[in-house]
Amino acid sequence: MNILIVDGNEKEASLRYTDMGMDTQYEVYKKVLNSLSLENFNIQIIHPAISNNFLPKGISLDDFDGVAWTGSLLNIYDMTSPIINQINLAKELFTKKNKIFGSCWGLQVLVTAAGGKIRKNPKGLEAVVAKEITINNEGLNHPMYKGKDSVFDAFCWHYDDTELLPSNSKILASNNKSEVQSVSFDMNESSVWAVQYHPEFDPLWIAGLMQQREDILLKEGAFSEKKYFDEELNFFSNYKNMDEKDNHVKYSDLINISKHTRELSNWISNLKN
């Protein structure tokens, strides 16, 4: 099965991760997709935010069974060349028959390309954990959420949210920070599942992100005091010592890998249908 991963980041943004010894966002995606399937995927990664000639020679967008779109540090309303490249790529994918999964920035690109609008969230930054995301009736009947708890937490980092959706969209889940925590829509023969959070992230990677962005998190009030930041950082850094079956453990669904990646495993199953 052929999977295309679209890296949403510019080169400098990815270097911030590698300089700390972390995986890039596209490497995180590649690893989690491979870990969730019993078969080996043929994964191709492209970087439209880095180069205008991002599709390797001999590769066609028609070659792929599925497309996964990563997060990014970009803000879509800036409409710089790296952003426009990605919007145009999404529009081209919409002319194909394919299945697309977008995380965070991926949702924002896909929504914009389909005619929607993204804004800076008036409720501010949502970071580290998006809390109490609630699946609505549409979501409960959608294959993306098969086997998912109806209320859950998810890893996240985003300043922006959806102001206007494409006309045929279905909101699947929301929380008090964003009405659109997930959405699905079809464009021609292209099927889109997208989430405003990051099911591909894992506790250790989010701990690295917290260390990288500690000053931002404290300045933006994501943690009211540094001691609470330190507690959460310690929790995710040492999550393997926690008992995910203990209902009293904080974020038990996030330290359960099969639970917090359920949207992606369901998408993989959907690719085979």
Q: Work out the percent of the chain whose per-residue pLDDT is above 70.
A: 98
Measured CA to CA, the distance from residue 60 to residue 147 in angstroms comes to: 34
Residues 191/106/40/62 CA torsion (nearest 10 deg): 50
Q: Kindly state the average pLDDT of the residues 256-265.
A: 95
Tens of pLDDT, residue by residue over 107-165, are 999 999 999 999 999 999 999 999 999 999 999 999 999 999 999 999 999 999 999 99
Nearest to 185, CA basis, from 272, 111, 96: 111
Q: What is the pLDDT of residues 187-219, one digit of tens each?
A: 999 999 999 999 999 999 999 999 999 999 999
CA distance 150 to 230: 29
Q: What percent of the chain has pLDDT over 90?
A: 91
Residue with tokens 């079956």: 245
All residues at 6 or more sequence positions from 148 whose CB lies less than 8 Å from its CB, including other chains: 135, 259, 262, 263
Which domains, and CATH codes, for the chain?
2-203+251-271 (3.40.50.880)
pTM, whole model, 2 decimals?
0.96
Apex 175 CA angle, 164 and 75, nearest 5:
45
pLDDT in tens, 162-171: 999 998 999 9
Residue 78: per-residue pLDDT: 97
pLDDT exceeds 80 at position 55:
yes
Residues with Cβ < 8 Å from 184, sequence gap 6 or more?
142, 144, 169, 170, 172, 191, 192, 193, 194
- Residue at token pair 């300089």: 19
Q: Measured between alpha carbons, how far is residue 60 from residues 92, 113, 186 in Å?
A: 11, 20, 21
Residue 38 has a pLDDT of: 76
The separation between CA 210 and the C-alpha centre of its own chain, rounded to angstroms, equals 17
The secondary structure of the chain in percent helix, strand, coil, rounded to multiples of 5, reads 35, 25, 40
